[in-house]
Amino acid sequence: MNGFDDRLLTRNGLAARQLAALLLNHEPDTRLPRVRDFAEELGVGNGTVQAALALLEESRAIETTARGHLGTFLVRSDRGILWRLSGLGTLLAAMPLPHSRRYEGLATGLRTAFEAAGAPFAITFMRGAAARTAALAEGKVHLAVLSRFAADRVIAEQPVELIADLGPSTYVGGHGLVLRHGVAIGSPGLRVAVNAASQEQPMLARRAFAGRDDIRWIEASPLRLRELFDRGKADATVWNLDEVEGRLGEGVEVQPLGDEAARELSLRHSSAAIIGRTEGARALAAVRGALDLSLITDVQGQVLRGERVPAY
């Protein structure tokens, strides 16, 4: 361990690490808080803050300049060095399995945007919104990606908050009513496939077939859906069109959702939402101000159009 690393283990060094995390949210050419304000926030003395700032300047993480009565300004910062010194580690997000080009684009956009904000970033893929939400609540991940519909339900029940709503068609391209060829929507005893692992899909299906007491609900995972239709064991469903296209064969037809409420639910499900814990996520707090949400959707669009190779 060199002399500089040794100093990071001292009281001044600990303050430098804490300051590094705070300074990730400060842009160049902006006035820094006063030394006594930093000292109060960190619970240390003014001299410790001054020594910590000197350590950060020595490491070339920041460059500051004093402008008399105007205060001290941040001239330059290296977000990569600040992040490393802060000890915040890698930000981890939980996403759905990348089984569609849309999800591949979303994963690529997230990684691009977080790395542009100076944060080491990684993704873990989990099937089911409930599993991703549980991982967030247990502190195993910093972020979870859900539909806006699912996110609203989680936010109402748990201490999490909405970080971003990326807008329509960022989570899925939409939903449609899927019917096996030769089956009419009004056929009695219709067997409708639902995915119990999803928070939204069963509700969409029940909304689309509201008012009917003759429906038989058939459990179906995305992997088994085609088999059920091919074998004549399911007659209909409401499903994510990204998963339907080219995957259910020629034995089905897709119709638009006809109910206003079902269409509204489908729209909320098509928007990708990013949620995080309300408290305790220092790594997320350190990067939120620098995160460019438009970069996520721009990169996703490039992947969807075939202009960019997915990389996540």
Ramachandran quadrant class, 246 (left: phi over 0; alpha: psi -120 to 50; beta: rest): left
- At residue 286, what are phi and psi to the nearest 5 degrees? -70, -20
Q: Is the pLDDT of residue 1 over 50?
A: no
pLDDT category, 179, cuts 50, 70, 90?
A: very high
Q: Between these two residues, 88 and 35, which has the higher pLDDT value?
A: 35
**Helix 35-42 crosses helix 46-58 at what angle (to 10 degrees)?**
100
pLDDT mean across residues, the chain:
87
pLDDT digits over 13-26, tens only?
Answer: 889 988 998 888 88
Share of the chain above pLDDT 90, in %: 46
Distances (CA, A) of 226 to 126, 184, 234, 242, 306: 22, 19, 9, 14, 27
- Predicted confidence at residue 26, as pLDDT, reads 85
Q: Which two tokens stand for residue 151?
A: 């996110």
pTM of the predicted structure, to 2 decimals = 0.73
pLDDT digits over 249-299, tens only?
Answer: 777 888 887 666 566 666 778 899 999 988 756 777 777 777 899 999 999
pLDDT category, 54, cuts 50, 70, 90?
A: very high
- Predicted confidence at residue 274, as pLDDT, reads 94
Whether 3-79 shares its CATH topology with 175-269 is answered no
* Structural domain boundaries in the chain: 3-79, 91-160+278-304, 175-269
Distances (CA, A) of 39 to 59, 176, 245, 304: 21, 57, 58, 48
The DSSP bridge pattern shows strands 91-95 and 121-125 to be: parallel
Q: Between these two residues, 304 and 207, which has the higher pLDDT value?
A: 304
pLDDT digits over 151-172, tens only?
Answer: 999 999 999 999 999 998 899 8
Q: Is the pLDDT of residue 132 over 90?
A: yes
Provide the CATH number for the domain formed by 175-269 in this structure.
3.40.190.10
Q: Is the pLDDT of residue 83 over 90?
A: no
- Predicted confidence at residue 285, as pLDDT, reads 74
Which superfamily does CATH assign the domain made up of 91-160+278-304 to? Answer: Periplasmic binding protein-like II (3.40.190.10)
For the domain made up of 3-79, the CATH class stated in words is mainly alpha
pLDDT category, 211, cuts 50, 70, 90?
A: confident
- At residue 167, what are phi and psi to the nearest 5 degrees? 95, 170
- At residue 121, what are phi and psi to the nearest 5 degrees? -140, 140
- Predicted confidence at residue 243, as pLDDT, reads 74
